Amino acid sequence: MCGIVGYVGQKQAAPILLHGLGKLEYRGYDSAGLAVREGEEITVVKAKGRLAELSNKTADGQAVPGNCGIGHTRWATHGEPSEINAHPHVSDGNFVVGVHNGIIENYQELREKLLNHGYKFYSQTDTEVAVKLVDYYYKKYLGTPIDAINHAQVRIRGSYALALMFKDYPNEIYAARKDSPMIIGTTEDGSFLGSDVPAILNYTRNVYYVGDMEVARLTASDVTFFNLDGDQIEKEQKVIEWDAESAEKGGFEHFMMKEIHEQPKAVQDTLSAYLKDGHADLSAAELDTEILKNIERMYIVACGSAYHVGMVGKYVIESMADIPVEVDLASEFRYRDPKLVKNSIVIIISQSGETADSLAALRLAKKKGIPTLAIVNVVGSSIARDADHVMYTYAGPEISVATTKAYSAQLIAVDLIALAAAAAKEVISDEREAELVKALQALPEQIEKVIENKERLQWFTSKFANEKDAFFIGRGIDYAIGLEGSLKMKEISYIHSEAYAAGELKHGTISLIEEGTLVIGIMTQDALFEKTRSNMVEVKSRGAYLMALTENGHYSIEDTADFVVYIPKTEPYFAPSLAVIPLQLMGYYLSLARGLDVDKPRNLAKSVTVE
């Protein structure tokens, strides 16, 4: 939620800031702004709407000279999207200028305090409060920017990544964070700051991760870090392995379509990282046979699509490894005082590794003394850093708000956990293990084949561009796939859709079926095929238009369904990796046919760093 950037160096700052904001626009896109400093002068420019408005207003940055600046692209939390609420915010006289990502929970209380000290507020944002709080401490104690920021950090409750400039400190940017992402990159001719890797990847791969409640000072030639006591601290520089091209569209019209096509590679790379000598090997996550053998229960906690992966994981792990699994939405888990049994593990799944609810769930599990495993895509993210064990997915940077390749890589991660645990507990034979490994290894090529048939789906989907509602039904793993298909459809096409456990339809939802209502039956599980077919017949007799998604060979379904999509045969456990592809494509083509912004759907942001 919100993207922040900063640059200080030899080059003109504004074009670099705009470029970085362009890479972060997926994090929020209702307004944008920048502040650039030239000598004593600090120029602030803001615009409501997409980043293009800000680019126009600044002549692509040429109209705002200076070598030091900060920028922001906003996803509104406090205050409507407007120019006045857009960042940067400034204290009177431009003593302190700042941009912020996150939510300051006690901003009302801090605002009152500052009002009592004569401060005036022009926007409805919590950010203006943060900037003025820093200004207040800066003037009160007449100390350094580090002291002022640290005083403010002690008072602020909530999450924040702040980038600040001080009038008295030319050519310096200060940054601080708590529970909101921020990385700092260095080159020979400048220092960069961003909420996420793509913002700075064009310039450098050498980065520092700012820790919670640490402060960084950026100058053109170096970056220095300080702790909450104001003492200088040493930090290790890391190298980002992602290459710049992987964060570009590479000839595709949208990131989402590019990322759909990258799924064979994401799956292959994740498999390669954890399949060794024909066995699932989680030693990279410091999970050895002894640890896995002793796990008696797993709790999977996540949000959105990652939660849907958890739903698949429950079916796969329980059945393959004989371990009971509970799945929770992170936003529920964190507030329900979960009773976690001994000899268990809490698995947090998150692409960004920054989702606020998932991070809070992880911390709760740790507080309760339960070991935690994070399945995360973004290296060095907060969840990855806080978890006891980390299993990275190798999807590369995912830019489209609707997740595709990260979801697919997460599916592989839970499959591998199931396989490793099943082997450790000796609940599968060597022959069965070999069969499952073979099936996993076939997935990248099979996914490729499913994607090859995309035109047929485009043709079918375009007929439903004006649909009001759609329903996804399935049983067991197929229900979990339906949840993801439904989310893909609604989040980018804005068509209302629901996923139902097929047997549950009769308990209320079936009354919504009218003449022509689109119902998508997911039928990848042989054992449940006939059961779901019966439910499809029930809705058909009430007028539904039926699409079936099933495996090659189930040709008899053509007697029931109006349109059938076939996927290659695989082990039932791994069918989600293939079945999700047509559903992602349907969401994509519906969004396209409706003329919507596929990669940046309304009201959403890529990483949800607020509750």
Distance between CA atoms of residues 417 and 287, nearest Å:
10
Minimum CB separation of residue 439 from ligand M6R in Å reads 25
Q: Is 281 in the site for ligand M6R (CB under 6 A)?
A: no
Beta carbon nearer to ligand M6R, 304 or 476: 304
Q: Is 303 in the site for ligand M6R (CB under 6 A)?
A: yes
3-class SS letters over 85-132: CCCCEECHHHCEEEEEEEEECCHHHHHHHHHHCCCCCCCCCHHHHHHH
**Sequence-distant (≥ 6) Cβ neighbours of residue 88 within 8 angstroms:** 33, 34, 35, 44, 46, 70, 71, 72, 97, 98, 99, 131
Q: Is 300 in the site for ligand M6R (CB under 6 A)?
A: no
Distance between CA atoms of residues 406 and 290, nearest Å:
29
Minimum CB separation of residue 307 from ligand M6R in Å reads 8
Beta carbon nearer to ligand M6R, 305 or 344: 305
Stretch that binds ligand M6R, among 40-48, 288-296, 299-307, 361-369 (CB under 6 A): 299-307
- Nearest CA-CA partner of 478 in 532, 518, 436, 437: 532
Q: Which 397-416 positions form the footprint of ligand M6R (CB under 6 A)?
A: 401-403
Distance between CA atoms of residues 136 and 155, nearest Å:
12
Concatenated DSSP letters of 497-533: EEEEEGGGGGGTGGGG--TT-EEEEEE--GGGHHHHH
Beta carbon nearer to ligand M6R, 359 or 505: 359
Beta carbon nearer to ligand M6R, 96 or 346: 346
Distance between CA atoms of residues 32 and 2, nearest Å:
9
Q: Let me know: does 100 contact 195? Beta carbons within 8 Å.
A: no
Q: Is 584 in the site for ligand M6R (CB under 6 A)?
A: no
Minimum CB separation of residue 266 from ligand M6R in Å reads 14
**Sequence-distant (≥ 6) Cβ neighbours of residue 103 within 8 angstroms:** 77, 78, 126, 158, 159, 160, 610, 611
Name the residue whose CB lies closest to ligand M6R: 304
Stretch that binds ligand M6R, among 150-158, 268-276, 396-404, 545-553 (CB under 6 A): 396-404
Q: Is 306 in the site for ligand M6R (CB under 6 A)?
A: yes
**Residue of the chain from 14, 34, 513, 608 that contacts ligand M6R (CB under 6 A):** 608
Token pair, residue 1, equals: 């939620």
Beta carbon nearer to ligand M6R, 489 or 518: 489
Minimum CB separation of residue 356 from ligand M6R in Å reads 9
Minimum CB separation of residue 71 from ligand M6R in Å reads 23
What are the backbone angles phi and psi of residue 90, rounded to the nearest 5°? -130, 155
Strand intervals (E) in 377-478 = 389-392, 469-474
Distance between CA atoms of residues 285 and 161, nearest Å:
28
Residue in the block written with tokens 């190798």: 394
Minimum CB separation of residue 487 from ligand M6R in Å reads 6
Which whole-number Å values give the CA distances from 205 to 93, 183, 259, 416, 443, in the listed order? 36, 11, 22, 30, 31
Beta carbon nearer to ligand M6R, 161 or 487: 487
Task: Reply yes or no on whether 2 is catalytic.
Answer: yes
Beta carbon nearer to ligand M6R, 61 or 304: 304
Sheet of 173-178, strands arranged across:
89-90, 96-104, 158-166, 173-178, 215-218, 223-226, 232-233
Minimum CB separation of residue 411 from ligand M6R in Å reads 13
Count interface residues toward ligand M6R (CB under 6 A).
16
**Residue of the chain from 304, 313, 338, 396 that contacts ligand M6R (CB under 6 A):** 304
Q: Is 446 in the site for ligand M6R (CB under 6 A)?
A: no
- Report CA Rg, the chain: 25
Q: Is 522 in the site for ligand M6R (CB under 6 A)?
A: no
Q: Contact letters (x/-) for ligand M6R, 334-373, by CB under 6 A?
A: ----------------xxx--x--x---------------
Concatenated DSSP letters of 533-548: HHHHHHHHTTT-EEEE
Beta carbon nearer to ligand M6R, 127 or 358: 358
**Residue of the chain from 55, 305, 372, 577 that contacts ligand M6R (CB under 6 A):** 305
Q: Which 464-503 positions form the footprint of ligand M6R (CB under 6 A)?
A: 487, 491
Q: Is 262 in the site for ligand M6R (CB under 6 A)?
A: no
Q: Is 312 in the site for ligand M6R (CB under 6 A)?
A: no
Beta carbon nearer to ligand M6R, 304 or 521: 304
Token pair, residue 239, equals: 């190298």
Burial 554-573 (b: 16+ CB within 10 A, else e): beebeebbebbbbbbbbbbb
Beta carbon nearer to ligand M6R, 114 or 608: 608
Q: Is 607 in the site for ligand M6R (CB under 6 A)?
A: yes
Q: Is 127 in the site for ligand M6R (CB under 6 A)?
A: no
Task: Reply yes or no on whether 68 is catalytic.
Answer: no
* Given 48, 178, 258, 606, the catalytic residue: 606
Question: Looking at the DSSP assignment, which residues form a beta bridge with residue 8?
Answer: 68, 191
Distance separating the N- and C-terminal Cα atoms of the chain: 11
Minimum CB separation of residue 604 from ligand M6R in Å reads 6
* Given 2, 46, 48, 132, the catalytic residue: 2
Residues at the interface with ligand M6R (CB under 6 A): 303-306, 350-352, 355, 358, 401-403, 487, 491, 607-608
Q: Which residues are catalytic?
A: 2, 606
